[in-house]
Structure formats: C-alpha cells, structure tokens
Structure 1
C-alpha cells in the first residue's frame, strides 16, 4: 500500500518524497553558479545573469525585488550589499530564471536521444522503526530507466511540486511494480547523467 494514505514519519521512518529528491537533483544539474549568494562572487554572478536580459528583470520583479535603478547599479558595482531579504529574493529570481533557461537542454540531455536516463532509487530508511511497524517487502535500491522527461522537467521548472509528484509517481515509480509505495519516500535519488 502506498504512503499517500499513511503517515510516513510516524514510527521513525526517515526519508523525503522521491519527487522532492528528484527536484533537488535537477536543481544540481541546472545550477551554473556554485558560489553562495551571500558571497561577493556569488552575488555578482547572479546579478550579471539577471540583468543580462529582459527575462531576468521580469524574474526579479516576480521575486519581489523592487529597488531603484540607482540601488541596482550600486549592487552591480559592489558599492552596496543587498539585505538578507533581498539576497533571498535574488536567489529565488536566479533559480527561477535558470530553471526556465535550461528546460530544453536539460530535457534533451535526460531524454538522451530516446534512450533515457537511468534513475537509482534508495528506499526510505526504516532503521529507526520498530519491527512490528516496519514496511515489509521493500528491497534495497532499485534502478529504472526513464525515457520521457519532458513533462517532469516542465513541472520542475514551473515549481509545481504537486504535478511533479504526480508525474514522478506515474512515470518513474510505476515502473517498479507492486512495491512502488516503498520508494515514494526515499533516502536518495540519483541520475546516471
């Protein structure tokens, strides 16, 4: 029985929704700037990326960055540093724009010319669950080849967690057969890219 109708952490099981882990992995694959936003280098790189196009300014508006052109120029010249709230907004705007910009290339990479990408799923951790409450029949890690990434990547790029979870369950976990519920919450998800 899948965990949709259960309380997964109730008895000490540890893990995250597999779709959340997949979203984190997609973020890692899409991320171009590795320096944190609160460093000079990371902030400068994000601001250059955001101010290089009209879409970047739109992403900043959507993220709630409402500063004067003079303040933005001071940020770019590194004469002034944004406050913590604006740093969070800059990071949000950067991630949203980056996701939007990499959808096509990431989809093409994961679809791999119709061959797809191997996904490794590690089941939730039941080591803290007492024996009578452990889920039976969950094997170790499993691998599945995902051939169609288009809808999954679009849901991730849009930040639609519910749609991503539905697609991950239907497109990836369903290929595991009857024990797919044991992988709905996972300890790890990896892509062979």
Structure 2
C-alpha cells in the first residue's frame, strides 16, 4: 500500500485501506440463504445445499463437522437438530462453499466481457478533521479492467497483500495524487 498518509487517522479521518474495502465490496456480492441457521428453514436449506455435492461434504469437513452418516441423515430428516456449535459450523461451511461457488460468476460479471466494471470510490470521512488538516477529496469513478480475476482470487484466499497490489493498480487508473485514495470510506459498483 502506498504510504503518504503517514499516520492515518491522526487528525480524525475515518476509513479503511482500499484493499480491505475492495474485499468487503466483493464479499457483499455474495448472496445466499437469508434465514438464520437457528431457524428450521435456514438449517434445512443449508443442509440441502451442503449435501448435494462432494464439495459440500468437503466444506463440512473443513468446518469441523465430523458426525456419523446416521446423525447427518437424522439432521436431514429433521428427526434431530444439531447442537449450537454444529449449527455454527454448518453456517460457516455453507458460506465458505457459497463463496467458492460464486467466484467464477463474480469474475465473469466484473470482467464484463473485457469491458470491465465502473467502480465508485468514496474518499475517507473527514467530518472529524479540523478544516486546516482536511484534504480536498471527492468521490471518484473509474472503469476497472484486467484485474478482476486476481482480485476475486485474492478475496477467495483472504490474500490482503494481493488485494493491496490490485488496489494499487486501480489507484494508478484513478490518478490518485499523493495516495489520496489509499484509504477510503467505501467502494461500490453496479455489477
């Protein structure tokens, strides 16, 4: 990350590193079951999703769900309910599998057939900064191309270093004077 902000937040600015904001924006594109895992409907939907493919069983294993086939069948038949810890593990497995399953679609949507995606970058919130220390910043919009596969892969792998490298490329397209957009309040797009 570029570092001309020196001591970010020293004067009261509020925001997040651009790489983190980029990861958060990608994460917000992942949708899934709205019902909580504690509800009958939410639990049943997660179990159906996780047990329809081998990848789902692998996700459950990675999440720490190690139950007998008999117990799993009882959960599916709604004869027994997983304990609180296993419900949390099922939820974690569901979202991890959901992220993996939507990654290819995210790349496709964001690459947009090579046309890229227009990204709106909102600067840090300077409400708490004295006027003499404020920077003249406004929302910026840029069409981003050629980095989305890397960005989604970095997001999938929780690789903040690679997301930061992608963000630096986006900053180059923004023409960010003195790293004005190294930290931002939010990033958005219509993809």
Corresponding residue for 1:107? 107
- Within 5 Å, give how 1:80-119 maps onto structure 2: 80-119=80-119
Distance 1:34 1:151, change over 3 A: same
Count of paired positions: 190
- Within 5 Å, give how 1:171-186 maps onto structure 2: 172-179=170-177, 181-186=179-184
Question: Runs of 5+ in structure 1 lacking a partner?
Answer: none
- Conservation of the 8 A alpha-carbon contact between 2:59 and 2:96: yes
- Conservation of the 8 A alpha-carbon contact between 1:2 and 1:182: no
- Conservation of the 8 A alpha-carbon contact between 1:173 and 1:180: no
Distance 1:174 1:44, change over 3 A: farther
Structure having the higher helix fraction is 1
Corresponding residue for 1:40? 40
- Conservation of the 8 A alpha-carbon contact between 2:120 and 2:141: yes
Once residues 36 and 18 of structure 1 are traced to their aligned partners in structure 2, the CA distance between those partners, rounded to angstroms, is 30
Distance 1:143 1:52, change over 3 A: same
How far apart are residue 192 of structure 1 and its match? 1.8
How far apart are residue 47 of structure 1 and its match? 1.6
Deviates more, 1:41-50 or 1:25-34: 25-34
SS of 2:119's equivalent in the other structure is strand
Distance 1:4 1:155, change over 3 A: farther
* 1:158 matched to 2:157: yes
Question: Runs of 5+ in structure 2 lacking a partner?
Answer: none
TM (norm. structure 2) is 0.85
Distance 1:76 1:23, change over 3 A: farther
Cα deviation digits, residues 71-122 of structure 1 (max 9, x gap): 3223323333334433332222222212222222221111111111111010
Deviates more, 1:84-93 or 1:51-60: 84-93
- Conservation of the 8 A alpha-carbon contact between 2:11 and 2:129: yes
How far apart are residue 42 of structure 1 and its match? 2.1
TM (norm. structure 1) is 0.84
Corresponding residue for 1:169? 168
Once residues 89 and 132 of structure 2 are traced to their aligned partners in structure 1, the CA distance between those partners, rounded to angstroms, is 46
- Within 5 Å, give how 1:41-60 maps onto structure 2: 41-60=41-60
Distance 1:182 1:88, change over 3 A: farther
